[in-house]
Chain A
Amino acid sequence: MRIRQLLALFCVTILIAGVTGACTQFEQRDKRFYYRALWNFALRENLRELDIEFNGVDFGHSHLYENLLLTGAQNVPVIEERARKETLRFIDSRPVLNPNEEAIAPTYMKLAWKAQNTFDEAHALHRATYDIYVSDLADRQAAIRKVLAFYQDSEYAITAKRLDHQRLDTFPYSKSFRRKFPLFNATIWSYHYLQVVVYDVLAASPDLLSKQKAVAPILRTYHAYLDQPPVEWTFMPMTEELSPKFAAEFPEIANVFNNLHMMHDNISDILTTDLLSTWEEKRKKIYRVTQAYYWASADATNPFIVGDGQPHHSGSTPAMKSGAPGGHSGH
């Protein structure tokens, strides 16, 4: 009897291994814990009003991707009204913990896990830098270098090189999301505004109280964007325009964040375009873009890397001209 059971167990193991190995969609999960340090959760504990907003931001992309996927991006009211307003409701709920994105977008996570894990690690870098900027650290630069080194040690790390975002926005499917869903696109860009605008403001504020005061007008501006999405913007907010000191001090991290936000736009376009009609085509394109144009491991062959001093987007963001992202009172 025992021999039969062992044989059965062995056969099941072989079957699982065979099915797993044969499947073209075999992917490993590769989750990493964040860089463990004294500053972990400093933002959550010390600057709760800003942390709550970032928790709300976490919902938006995943909810968008899931809805684009499930609707085939064919139903404008579902995306622009229902999904966008669900996102705004979640933000308004003032979540004190970041949401479980796999519960928000279970289908998208199964479609493109590697891309999601790329986002997750870059978002962890965002969180780590916020925690450091809120903490009372004697050597902030050293702390930032540590979290950057930890980030870049991952195979999922986005390149810290400057990418030509203008060209990355000229694929056949590019701009399809913003053209079809301008309100949600402007909402996404509003998140990106918030994510990068706070660095210089936090750095300029010497203590916690002044940091709390400094972010208040930023949050008012951000919520004004959520209420009236800035559809006049033609390009995503850039780190060096909204936090120039941060970008000058940590150009590699600024590049990672700009590239992260551009990758978000690319994936939104891929999920929206009719040029890629099946989920499998979209998955392949997402992985092609992620691995060849965004992962640091592709730096040697990445055709979108630009040299220092060259522009990496058109620089014609109307929002900048109108003073919207860069001109809020928090600066």
Chain B
Amino acid sequence: MDRYITRIAILLLLMVPTVVWALDHDNLDPNRPIAIEDAYVVPKGEIGVEGGILFSDRKQGRSRFVFQPQLIIGAFDNTQLELSSDVQTDPRSVVGDDKSGNLTVGALYNVNTETLSLPAFAARVQLGLPTGVSAKGVDTALTGVMTRSYGRWRTHVNVGYSFLGSPQGQERSGTYRVVAAVSYPLGYPTSFNDTIIANIFTRQSDLVGQRNPTGVGIGLRHQVSSRVVVDAGLGSEFIGPADRSVFFSTVGLSVGF
């Protein structure tokens, strides 16, 4: 019953016109609103502040809320620097490289823009500093990003690998993840304020001997003003370990200035 009430509460939360300050609704950033990013960085000189709240209803264990603040800076040509954190409820139950309160610094470099014969590629490097609950060692993550468009449809692939600096207990020392997604600008040719995104993902489980959490998500990014984008998304991990998210939803805001 509690779980049912919680889900209803989250769905109602999704209906509230929460503001997620996004920079450009067509420029996809991780977790805004779902786990995919495109190969493009914010323009040089831009500063973006993003934040969102994720609700995760797990098959076993307590449901979680995760606050995901992020700072993005277009620091150099074709390069953005990032500072982010995940702050979670029930932090001691978190395993893997996303410990609650960890501070993550990262850089995304856009290798090239898409041309008629070549997709856009990008590479990301992230360091997870052990500032969070039960965190030990510096985690490292490398991700390759590809974006290829077909007409107005854009397809995206993210392939990454995370190295845990100091795995604890049954934690794996490293995990891979693969995400594929499509995005589409809604409203052509009379409106250009919304982008819909759908993804499918799988990632190696955080603990040895468990199945890959695998699932799907769908989200929407909406430009509300010149500087602000709001987003919302939901999805499910339909395969995976017992503590997987059978339902997750998120709302967020991105502001560029």
Interface residues of A (CB under 8 A from B): 2, 5, 9, 12-13, 16-17, 19-20, 23-34, 36, 41, 44, 59, 63, 86, 89-90, 93, 95, 97, 99-100, 102-104, 106-107, 109-111, 113, 279, 283
Residues from chain A with a CB closer than 8 A to the CB of B40 are 29, 31
Structural contact, A44 and B226, CB atoms closer than 8 A: yes
Assembly CA distance A99 to B25 (angstroms): 11
Assembly CA distance A30 to B45 (angstroms): 11
Structural contact, B192 and A113, CB atoms closer than 8 A: no
Q: Is the interface of A mostly helix, strand, loop or mixed?
A: helix
B184 to A: closest C-beta gap in Å:
9
- Does B144 have its Cβ within 8 Å of any Cβ on chain A? yes
Residues from chain B with a CB closer than 8 A to the CB of A5 are 161, 174, 176
Structural contact, A27 and B161, CB atoms closer than 8 A: no
Assembly CA distance A116 to B110 (angstroms): 18
Assembly CA distance A9 to B191 (angstroms): 41
Residues from chain B with a CB closer than 8 A to the CB of A59 are 189
**Which residue of chain A lies nearest to B74 when distances are taken between CB atoms in the complex?**
A33
Assembly CA distance A72 to B48 (angstroms): 40
B256 to A: closest C-beta gap in Å:
8
Assembly CA distance A295 to B220 (angstroms): 38
Structural contact, B189 and A63, CB atoms closer than 8 A: yes
18 pairs, CB–CB < 8 Å, chain A vs chain B: A17-B111, A23-B118, A28-B77, A28-B112, A29-B41, A30-B78, A31-B78, A33-B43, A36-B45, A41-B226, A95-B191, A97-B192, A99-B192, A104-B188, A104-B189, A106-B151, A110-B114, A110-B115
Structural contact, B174 and A103, CB atoms closer than 8 A: no
Given contacts A23-B118, A28-B110, A100-B26, 13 further A-B contacts (CB under 8 A): A9-B161, A20-B121, A23-B115, A27-B113, A29-B112, A31-B42, A31-B44, A33-B42, A41-B227, A97-B223, A100-B185, A103-B192, A107-B116
Given contacts A5-B174, A89-B190, contact A32 B226 (CB under 8 A): no
- Does B14 have its Cβ within 8 Å of any Cβ on chain A? no
- Does B193 have its Cβ within 8 Å of any Cβ on chain A? yes
Residues from chain B with a CB closer than 8 A to the CB of A102 are 26
Structural contact, B144 and A97, CB atoms closer than 8 A: no
**Chain B 45-62 interface residues, beta-carbon cutoff 8 Å to A:** 45-46
Given contacts A25-B118, A97-B226, contact A89 B189 (CB under 8 A): yes
Structural contact, A9 and B142, CB atoms closer than 8 A: yes
Residues from chain B with a CB closer than 8 A to the CB of A100 are 24-26, 185, 192
Structural contact, A32 and B43, CB atoms closer than 8 A: yes
